[in-house]
Amino acid sequence: MKKAVIGILAGMGPRSTAPFLTLVLDACERQYGARHDIDFPKLLICSQPAPFWPDRPVEPEAMVAAIDEGLKSLVAGGADFLGIACNTAHVYLDRLHPARPLLNMVDLAVEAVGATPRQIAIIAARPTMEAGLYQRALLNRGHRPITPDWQDAVDRLLGLTRETQDSAVLAAAWSNLGDIAQQEGTDSLLIACLDLTGILQHLTTDLPVVDAATELAEGLVRRWRAQ
């Protein structure tokens, strides 16, 4: 029986694409013990340049056009279902009309938080936070999103991902956010930015952490196995 082809729209930003693919392959090993080359799914990847600039707001029309272009490339290549490895892109889901089923990373991440009400601090890029994407989803499931006054610090951490790979520098920046989260009475962290997922290994915290990118990777593999 022919297995389904997974289509992944990534590249927002470009350096987050490879770490996300690693998450998908890790999910294969974890979920069903994939080991040999033949055990893994066929993946189509579109690393789509996105209209993001650090010094100005996202232009919705340009963003929707970029996402649509990427999704059409994946469908044309034979993808049977799709995932978008970009949190901010999910702000525009209701304006997209993909020709194949599209998994929702926000829903998958919030489901992973569990049913017990949590006080969750979201760490995300400014456009994602300002859109209220995860705040609404968490509230709808009975959780309380915590919003510390830390977006400038998060922006600086995101900037560091483009400037350095020094583990001590990155760990120190993460540590500042962890300290703030605990001071605010947070009992969980939700990471909602692919660029931050790529440096998550430098985060040391006693708080439970849900990473949206990891949950999307797990969801894509579950969907593939169910085909």
Distance between CA atoms of residues 88 and 193, nearest Å = 8
**Over the stretch 30-83, which tens digit does the pLDDT of each residue have?**
999 999 999 999 999 999 998 877 677 888 999 999 999 999 999 999 999 999
Pair (83, 95) in one structural domain: yes
State whether 89 and 116 are in the same domain: no
What ranges make up the beta strands (E) of 80-223?
A: 81-84, 119-124, 144-146, 188-192, 209-211
**Together in a domain, 123 and 80:** no
CATH label of the domain that carries residue 37: 3.40.50.1860
**pLDDT higher than 90, residue 25:** yes
Average pLDDT for residues 87-109, to the nearest whole number? 95
Number of domains in the chain: 2
Same domain, 112 and 101: no
In a shared domain, residues 88 and 148: no
Shared domain for 219 and 207, answered yes or no, is: no
The one catalytic residue in 63, 86, 121, 158 is 86
Terminal Cα distance for the chain, rounded: 10
| pTM exceeds cut of 0.75 | yes
Domain that holds residue 206: 107-212
13: pLDDT confidence band, cut at 50, 70 and 90? Answer: confident
pLDDT attached to residue 51 = 84
Residues 48 and 143 placed together within one structural domain of the fold = no
- Active-site residue (options: 193, 194, 210, 216): 193
- pLDDT for the residue numbered 10: 95
Higher pLDDT, 163 or 26: 26
Looking at residue 85, what DSSP letter applies? -
The model's pLDDT over 113-167, given as tens digits with 9 standing for 90+, comes to 999 999 999 999 999 999 999 999 999 999 999 989 999 999 999 999 888 889 9
Instruction: Say which residues have a Cβ less than 8 Å from residue 73's Cβ, sequence separation at least 6.
Output: 46, 48
**46 part of the active site:** no
Length of the chain measured in residues: 227
Same domain, 89 and 124: no
pLDDT reported for residue 1: 60
The whole-angstrom distance between residue 154's C-alpha and the CA centroid of its chain comes to 15
Quote the mean pLDDT of the chain: 94
Share of the chain above pLDDT 70, in %: 99
Q: In 3D, which of 107, 100, 111 has the Cα closest to residue 6?
A: 100
Q: Are 83 and 216 in contact (CB under 8 A)?
A: yes
| Interatomic CA distance for residues 213 and 194, integer angstroms | 6
How many C-beta neighbours within 10 Å does residue 224 have? 23
124 and 159 share one domain: yes
Claim to verify: residue 30 and residue 125 sit in the same structural domain? no
Residues 113 and 207 in one domain: yes
Task: Note whether 54 and 65 are same-domain residues.
Answer: yes
